[in-house]
Amino acid sequence: MGQGQQDRAPAAPGTGAPMSFEQAAAHLVGTDPRFALTEATVRGQRYTVFRNTPFHLRDLLRHGAPVFAGRDVLVYQQERWDHDALCADVRALAAAMAKELGVRQGDRVALAMRNYPELPILILAVAALGAVAVPMNAWWGEQELAFAMADCGARVLFADQPRFRLGETFAERLGVTLVAVRDVPPGHAGHDYRDLRAAGDGAGWPETAIDTDDDAVVLYSSGSTGRPKGVQLTHRGMISAVYSQVMVQAMGPLMNPAAPPPARPPASLIVTPLFHVTALNASYLQGMVNGATMTLMYKWDADEAVRLIEREQVTRFVGVPTQSAELLAAARRAGAALESLNYIGAGGAKRPAAQVGQLAEAFPAAKVGTGWGMTETNALGIVLAGPDYVAHPDAAGRLNPPLQEMRLLDEQGRPVPPGQVGELAVRSAANMRGYLNQPEATAETLRDGWLLTGDLARVDDDGLVYIVDRRKSIILRGGENVSCLEVEGALHHHPAVAEAGVFPVPDERLGEAVGAAVWPRAGATVDPAELAAFLRGHLARFKIPDHIWVLTRPLPRGATDKIDRRALRAACLDDGPRAVLHAKE
């Protein structure tokens, strides 16, 4: 739905008749106060925005008790938080951060840990103070973490034990105060999360005035340059995305009125890292709006996921496609029907088409869904679920209403004719404010409010969007972005490598795996296993190539002398012998 359409009257189909996707969206906009629309000027651009949603994350939490009706909000192993307990922790930590650590409005606070409950609590506590939470990728090594700390300028780092040890190597140099979370390292000289929580006990809500367009979170995303980019997400942007996603869920009964109502209260299993936008927005914050009990997994384990789904009667499962496939296999091993599930979604990578029908057959009570989105869009984008998805498993879906606009553009930035392939551009108040400290990259990506995604897409006659390729040199490995240029740079550090090229390799489990082709220096030999071991000192484990080809000739190049990645990929996949590396898994 584009700008200026918010006054259109809602559709009025016959009583009980199924509504179309567009009719359901218009009906909710016209009848449900949560999704009422207005307009606002945001960073000099006029956008369609929600009229009645909370202005910031503090109020989203503060006034959320009624939707939980006394049920738990957060579950981790044997620990549980109801809404009152969660709010008490958020208030206490916000007060202690201000008093004990000197955190002020607008300061950035870094959070580096796996999916411990402290992470989602801290994200809300930092936001409640009017500061900016910066969840760090817990799979990063020392160099990547140190770079992001320096880039975002955070002077406080909350970290679990492995990340705390990494922080000790640069804390003094960067002037960073370390706060230990959970497993406190013996003899550490920093602060302790539990002591801070106790110091703020009984505190009220911070009184800081927060503007809806202030930054709330910075999430780091791998860019095509290989250097992580800090994506600045505002309170309005995050809330706009979450309520748009909630609206699509509310459209379901209108499009299929014959479906029985949910038999269980909403409950989600969060299996992907909360330092990614899918888990943070599309699971955690969405659960805060829907009143879902959210169970955290520290680390993905399909058999444990089956046990947790049955124990907590989980209704919603969203993970990368690999996790859906492994959940299916684990359920079959356990003889578990997982009857509580009513939605099985995928994000972070495209689900293999064959998997869609398999999941729909195995879990007939659950809608199988997919979503396309980016960190830069707050995970808002394109959605598809249910029979429509089963019938079109290669499609990305339909534009998530009601705030977004979409265009497909040619290389000159002009709209392409219907049915043709163009670069996908999206426009909404949910889009990022920009890339931290990177004005040129921001200007290249955001133009007059339009976000150029770097994805090539087409739209069919029914309005379904198909993502067909990517302009960016990025591999989506199991939901993680891997920069081809970064991996190539690391390969070139090896003394035996003369040339290196990196490209995606189709993978049934991961969606895409990392492939690399190297040409040795004259007189040198390259052993793929030794090369992979060498890379462990330069790259995070998920970035190390899964497949390595050793070539006998230079890499193919185009007219501008750049590596022809498509030609290289085609040649390797068709002809070249390769080493398949599984040790890093």
pLDDT in tens, 336-390: 999 999 999 998 777 878 889 999 999 999 999 999 999 999 999 999 999 999 9
Judge whether residue 224 has pLDDT over 70. no
Q: Quote the pLDDT of residue 395.
A: 94
β-pairing, 72-76 vs 293-296, is: parallel
Least confident range from 160-174, 180-194, 499-513, 565-579: namely 565-579
Q: Quote the pLDDT of residue 242.
A: 98
Q: How confident is the model at residue 558 (pLDDT cuts 50, 70, 90)?
A: low
pLDDT tens for residues 300-338?
999 999 999 999 999 999 998 889 989 999 999 999 999
pLDDT tens for residues 111-164?
999 999 999 999 999 999 999 999 999 999 899 999 999 999 999 999 999 999
Q: Quote the pLDDT of residue 14.
A: 42
pLDDT tens for residues 60-84?
999 999 999 999 999 999 999 999 9
Phi, psi of 362 (to 5 degrees): -75, -30
Phi, psi of 191 (to 5 degrees): -90, 170
Which residue ranges make up each domain of the chain? 21-56+233-470, 81-210, 474-580
**CB within 8 A of 57, min separation 6: which ones?**
124, 127, 128, 216, 235, 238, 239, 285
Question: What type of residue is 107?
Answer: D
* Residues 128, 131: Cα–Cα separation, whole Å: 7
Residue that wins the pLDDT comparison between 47 and 482: 47
Q: Quote the pLDDT of residue 109.
A: 98
Phi, psi of 327 (to 5 degrees): -65, -45
pLDDT tens for residues 464-506?
999 887 777 788 888 888 888 788 888 988 999 988 999 999 9
Q: Quote the pLDDT of residue 226.
A: 58
Give domain 21-56+233-470's CATH superfamily. ANL, N-terminal domain (3.40.50.12780)
Q: Quote the pLDDT of residue 481.
A: 81
Q: Quote the pLDDT of residue 428.
A: 98
Q: Determine the average pLDDT of the residues in 401-427.
A: 94
Across the strands, what pairs with 426? 406, 451
Q: Quote the pLDDT of residue 203.
A: 97
Question: Across all residues in the chain, what is the average pLDDT?
Answer: 91
Percent of the chain topping pLDDT 70: 94
Whether the ω angle into residue 135 lies within 30 degrees of 0, i.e. cis, is: no
Question: What type of residue is 38?
Answer: T
* Residues 125, 132: Cα–Cα separation, whole Å: 10
Q: How confident is the model at residue 223 (pLDDT cuts 50, 70, 90)?
A: low
Does domain 81-210 bear CATH number 3.40.50.980?
Answer: yes
Judge whether residue 565 has pLDDT over 60. yes
Judge whether residue 531 has pLDDT over 70. yes
Q: Is 446 helix (H, G, I), strand (E, B) or coil?
A: strand
Q: Determine the average pLDDT of the residues in 224-250.
A: 91
- Could you tell me the two tokens for 30? 């016209």
**CB within 8 A of 93, min separation 6: which ones?**
121, 122, 125, 196, 197, 200
Q: Is 546 helix (H, G, I), strand (E, B) or coil?
A: coil
* Residues 26, 9: Cα–Cα separation, whole Å: 7
Number of Cβ within a 10 Å radius of residue 430: 32
Least confident range from 161-170, 242-251, 282-291, 508-517: namely 508-517
- Assess whether the region 21-56+233-470 and the region 81-210 belong to the same CATH fold: yes
Q: Determine the average pLDDT of the residues in 170-176.
A: 96
Does domain 474-580 bear CATH number 1.10.579.10?
Answer: no
pLDDT tens for residues 2-22?
333 333 333 344 457 999 999
Number of Cβ within a 10 Å radius of residue 150: 14
Q: How far is CA 351 from CA 42, 75, 111, 363, in A?
A: 35, 28, 30, 16
